Amino acid sequence: MIECQQSLRLGAYLDGQMSPQERSNMQEHLALCAACVSELERLERLSDLLRSMPRAELDRAALARLHRWADRLPQRGALRLAETLAAVAAAVLVACCVGLAEQASLSAAQGPSPLWEAQAISQTAADQAGSSEEQLAMWLADDLSGKARP
Ligand SMILES: [Zn+2]
């Protein structure tokens, strides 16, 4: 996350969701703000990555079953429709997560993680290493003395 407030509007700019005047203003801002240019490039890479993901598709037999099922819907009720749509949405989500995980493992194999990521991980590990035993001892002491119980 960058500090420039204009960065909050980069998604709308990238998606073509701005009026011509807003778009012109953003282009003027981008000529002056390196942070927003960098963020815009990051958003474009993310957008390209999502576009390149394979889409989940149903085979003909499954599609035919879905159509037959949908034709009988009035007798089955809206709850069943909601359950089925939720199941389809969950399947699509799982497919996307698997794809993203594969992309993440590919990019992890391609090189070192960004500096901020390495610092965040090492900082967390350092925090936990120093205090986890002390914290555990305090929880045990509290638990044995009955302090932790309501
Ligand atoms: Zn900016």
**Inter-helix orientation angle 34-52/20-30, to 10°:** 120
Distance CA 117, CA 107 (A): 14
Domain ranges of the chain: 1-52
At residue 53, the pLDDT reads: 87
Residue found under tokens 């794809």: 99
CA 37–ligand 1 middle distance (angstroms): 7
* 8 Å CB contact between 4 and 36: yes
CA 65–ligand 1 middle distance (angstroms): 51
The residue type found at 139 is: W
What is the pTM (predicted TM-score) of this model? 0.39
* Mean pLDDT in consecutive groups of 10 residues from the start of the chain, 150 residues: 87 95 97 96 93 83 86 70 79 80 71 61 53 60 60
At residue 78, the pLDDT reads: 67
At residue 6, the pLDDT reads: 94
* 8 Å CB contact between 18 and 12: yes
Instruction: Look up residue 53 and give its DSSP letter.
Output: S
CA 10–ligand 1 middle distance (angstroms): 9
At residue 150, the pLDDT reads: 46
